[in-house]
Structure 1
Amino acid sequence: MIGYVERRERLTPDEVSAVVALASAAGDTDGAYPLSEHTVLHLRHGGEAPAVHLVARTPDGELAGYAHVDTTDAVDGPSAELVVHPQRRRHGLGRALVKAAIEAAAEADPAGRLRLWAHGDHPSAGALALSLGFRRARVLWQMRRSLFAEVPQPDLPAGVVLRPFRPGEDEQAWLALNARAFADHPEQGRWTLRDLRARMAEPWFDPAGFLLAERDGALAGFHWTKVHGELRSDAEDAHHHDPIGEVYVLGVDPSAHGSGLGRALTAAGLRHLRAQGLDQVMLYVDESNTAATALYQRLGFARWSTDVLFQRA
């Protein structure tokens, strides 16, 4: 039996923990984590950026579902993500959360726009979105590769050297390069110093895995790697779950396009992750970015899962 959907401006630490546990339960069932990094960071760190939290409970107060509505993007409009506990599905709770998200978005955007992410592209999520007037607008692939397979030697262009990111020194230069490399990207190219520092504060951040390509003292590209899961040396319980590496962000200055720097940076990052004892690596890439998907396929990556962005109005 489903209870009610409550709208909140802030969540307590206990409520944040409950939402994260709910998302983990759904991710284990579905094979795809239901919340993006952006949403998880906002849950953990909060900050000045406003958000609408929609909390669905059973009549006895048990958390059954959650939706996060971000109303801060004046260009592309509000966006939302939601999750329903696997044991509380098929009772209309997902539809109730989406309708509540539509109402919250309409208050912030006169055009009535809302972007809704469906992580894993499950048929039921797609059917729900289409039935409420959304259309498929963007497709994001998760690709994976074994690190047991051969990784090519990084073949850097002449004059280019690799070095690790230096916290406290490289932030502004990297932000400028990131903006140039992702000038047409709907999210990545807009990162601010606050966005960067929020990720540097995460437990997974390791500057040794944040590789910068430099030529004549100027940054020309980068490969920021990430490790999901906890690598531990204990004989018992070596990790909470199988760790996996990620090609977190890979960027090349437009002036270096066509030089082979992107391929070299990818190979260097893969070798770094393999040296950490990892056996698998993942990445996310837009389906429409045919140049990037072709590069990754040549390097042994294959599509693993699909995320879909649905758009309304």
Structure 2
Amino acid sequence: MRAHPLEIGPLDPPTCSAVRALADAAQSVDGAPPLSEQPLLRLGTDDEDITHVVARTAAGDVAGYAQIDRGGDGASAELVVHPDARRQGIGRALLRTAERDARLPSRSGEPGQRGSTLRVWAHGDLHGARDFAAQAGYAVVRELLFLGRRLADLSGAAAPTVPDGYRLRTFVPGADDEAWLAVNARAFAEHPEQGRMTLADLRARQAEPWFDPEGFFLIERDIGSGTERDVEHDGASDGADQHLAGFLWTKVPGGSSEGEIYVVGVDPDAQGAGLGKVLTAVGLAHLAGRGLDRAVLYVDGDNAAALRTYERAGFGRLAADVQYAPVDTGLIGP
């Protein structure tokens, strides 16, 4: 199978569908999705900081795809090659194109964006990806752990409680968007992906079939509240002097027997109150109440505090995603 020259530019709807089919074909062989949620949501995006690269076979079928994002502090990429088109130089061509694209300035025009070092995600930490990275002169600079735990032991458990001074409710689309975005940005100010979430990103997720506001919890400061009390799902804020202190968002794809603790965030001003532990318990209780078999989540391998919280909640390691960077950049530790 021989590829045509690479196509660079926005994707039309048929090509978006073909890339999704390509990703499905790779996952069926590799056992891990080659593209994460964000690139898949951005397949139809025409943005100055996003570059789409497509490789085709002589017959015109999509044989490979790469997406480069220059909108953060550096440039990152994800790429996939069809299982039937591997070891033909397509992956290396996609990577070379991503490396050149990483040197372009971002829309922000910040001088530091010129000559950015490319980082490349590989999902599932597969041997083939490690070999490809090593041959290209890349090494691991970041690890994203995939954790899970069974939910059977939580069936019928007592409802979690929130500390005195806080109340819990579910997210109201449209009414809570801006407040959530502000706290998310504060909670993940140092996170290269989550901290960049925009209103458009939130809207894209709200449009997904899996989105369910009943599985999206907000914890607020409740001035003048009484003693600690059971969790109540009582809708939107009633206008009292309440401020968002943290949140937990769950994700349950249709037909799946497992649910994801999609993201947990606590405002820096509310750190130390044990809200992360409470929110995790809320999420687990919600997923168990839906009759699911397992809860899963992703967490950075160097986030010691979060790892302790999840280990105490019964989570164990299932797999890992890794991010690579060129060995000669100085990003690789001793």
Instruction: Indicate whether the TM-score tops 0.5.
Output: yes
Which residues in structure 2 correspond to 1:169-208 (within 5 Å)? Answer: 169-208=175-214
Q: Which aligned runs of 4 or more in structure 1 are off by greater than 4 angstroms?
A: none
Quote the sequence identity (%).
Answer: 51
**C-alpha distance in 1, partners of 2:252/2:69?**
27
Shift of the alpha carbon at 1:71?
Answer: 2.6
**Which residue does 1:225 correspond to in 2?**
250
Counterparts of 2:138 and 2:275, CA distance in 1: 39
How far off is 1:123 after superposition? 2.0
Does residue 239 of structure 2 align to residue 214 of structure 1? Answer: no
Match of 2:139, as an amino acid? Answer: R
Q: Which runs of 5+ in 1 are unaligned?
A: 231-238
Deviation at 1:8, TM superposition (A): 2.2
- 1:87 matched to which residue of 2? 84
Higher mean alpha-carbon deviation, 54-63 vs 285-294, is at 54-63
State the alpha-carbon separation in 1 of the partners of residues 249 and 132 from structure 2: 36
Q: What is the aligned residue count?
A: 299
> Could you tell me which residue of structure 2 aligns to residue 141 of structure 1?
145
Identify which range, 106-115 or 12-21, moves more after superposition: 106-115
TM-score by length of 1: 0.89
Range 152-161 or range 62-71, more displaced: 152-161
Aligned partner of 1:191: which letter?
M
Structure 2 gaps of 5+ residues are 106-112, 223-241, 330-334
Tell me the alpha carbon deviations over residues 172-225 of structure 1, each in whole angstroms, 9 at most, x when there is no partner.
Answer: 211221122112212212222222222222222111111011122111111011
Aligned letter for 1:140? L
The aligned amino acid for 1:147 is: L
Take 1:188 and 1:211, find their aligned partners in 2: how far apart are those partners? 17
Partner of 1:262: 276
Tell me the distance in 1 between the aligned counterparts of 2:90 and 2:153.
Answer: 44
Aligned match of 1:100 in 97, 101, 104?
A: 97
Residue 211 of structure 1: SS of its match in structure 2? Answer: strand
Give the equivalent residue in structure 2 for 1:303: 317
Secondary structure of the 1:288 match is coil
- TM-score for the superposition, normalised by structure 2: 0.84
SS at match of 1:43: coil
In the aligned structure 1, how far is the partner of 2:194 from the partner of 2:262?
11
CA distance in 1, matches of 2:271, 2:55: 48
Offset of 1:72 from its aligned partner? 2.7
Residue equivalent to 1:233: none
CA shift, 1:227, in A, is 0.9
1:112 to partner: Cα distance = 5.1
1:47 to partner: Cα distance = 4.8
How many Å separate the matches in 1 of 2:194 and 2:130? Answer: 25
| Aligned residue identity for 2:59 | D
- In structure 2, how many angstroms separate the alpha carbons of the residues matched to 1:190 and 1:273? 27
RMSD: 1.9
Aligned to 1:66: 65
Matches within 5 A, 1:234-313: 239=255, 242-312=256-326, 313=329
Residue 5 (structure 1) shift: 3.9
Structure 1 counterpart of 2:12? 12
